[in-house]
Structure formats: C-alpha cells, structure tokens
Amino acid sequence: MRAGCRDDEPGYRPEHFVADGALRDVCVLDTTIDDWRHMFAGLGAVPWRHVLTWTLSDVAEDGALDAAAVWSRLEGDPEESANLAIDVDGVWFTCYFFDIEEIEFTFDPSDVIDATSFAPVRAFVTWLGRATGREVIVTMEGTDHAAMPALIRWRP
C-alpha cells in the first residue's frame, strides 16, 4: 500500500522502482529478538527458497533457522558476518544483519518493471508484516530509515 493508505495490499508505483543504481530497503523498525524469531519462524510457512550464508566459514544453511543462535554467533565474533537471501519468484531479498533493532532486507528495483513483476515485492512485504505482526516500510537505500519517507507502508 502507499504511505497513508489503510488497505493491507502494497501498491505498485513505477516511480519507486526506477533503476537508479540504488537498492530499495524493506524494514521493520525498533525490533527485538522476538521479532527476528517470528520472522525466521514465518519462513517455514512460505514456499520460497532461503539460504543463510556465514562469511568466515563459507557455510550455507537452509531450512529452520534460530534467531538467537544467529545473533549470538554474530555478537560473539566481530569478524563474522552473515546474510540471509530469500528468493520470491525471482526477486532476491537479502538481509545482512546490521542491527538487532532493525530487520532490513534489500532488493534491486530493476527487478520490478511493471505491476506484474511487483507481485513478489507485494508478497514479501505482506509476509514480513504478517510474520512479525509489525509495520513494514520500503524506502530508498539508506541508514536512517525512520527519517526517510516510506515508498510503501504495510500495517498489520
């Protein structure tokens, strides 16, 4: 849905997906470990392929993921990093675990060229909102998402 709308279906607006060299961010703000747990648990309810890759060990995991174990490993080794990539009908959404207080995924807007190819974005945003029970915003790529205008806003 567009910012300010009250329906629960995100809407397609071509100007939000112009391939300008920047990614788009899909965020849940002010999160806790419980929000991460809900998000990981929600992966079991969708048919999308997902892979968690650890940088130092070059190990990839799929299937059920444990949010507390992921964050514990990241906090225990400052050299370690990970990314979670989720393939929604050909559009990849990737999380790099920057901060436990924000679930943030990125995707390439060039994958969205019309209302039909917007369907995976709609599905992902809706799924993330339902899985966490929290508001989801899509913004331009950036670091202070709370201060940025939302291109899309989904509210439970």
The domain in which residue 69 lies consists of 14-154
Domain membership of residue 7 (yes or no) is no
Domain membership of residue 75 (yes or no) is yes
Domain membership of residue 19 (yes or no) is yes
CA distance 87 to 55: 19
Q: What is the pLDDT of residues 34-43, one digit of tens each?
A: 999 999 999 9
CA distance 40 to 20: 31
Q: What is the pLDDT of residues 97-144, one digit of tens each?
A: 999 999 999 999 999 988 888 999 999 999 999 999 999 999 999 889
Predicted TM-score (pTM) of this structure: 0.89
Residue 2's pLDDT is what? 37
For the chain, the straight-line distance linking the first and the last C-alpha, in angstroms and rounded, comes to: 12
How many Cα neighbours within 13 Å face the side chain of 113?
Answer: 3
Domain membership of residue 3 (yes or no) is no
Chain-centroid distance of CA 154 in Å reads 13
Domain membership of residue 9 (yes or no) is no
Residue 64's pLDDT is what? 81
| Domains held by the chain: number | 1
Domain membership of residue 44 (yes or no) is yes
HEC states along 76-133? HCCCCCEEEEEEECCEEEEECCCECCEEEEEECHHHCCCCCCCHHHHHHHHHHHHHHC
Q: Can you give the CATH number for the domain in which 92 is found?
A: 3.30.310
What is each CA distance from 14 to 9, 84, 109, in whole angstroms? Answer: 16, 27, 10
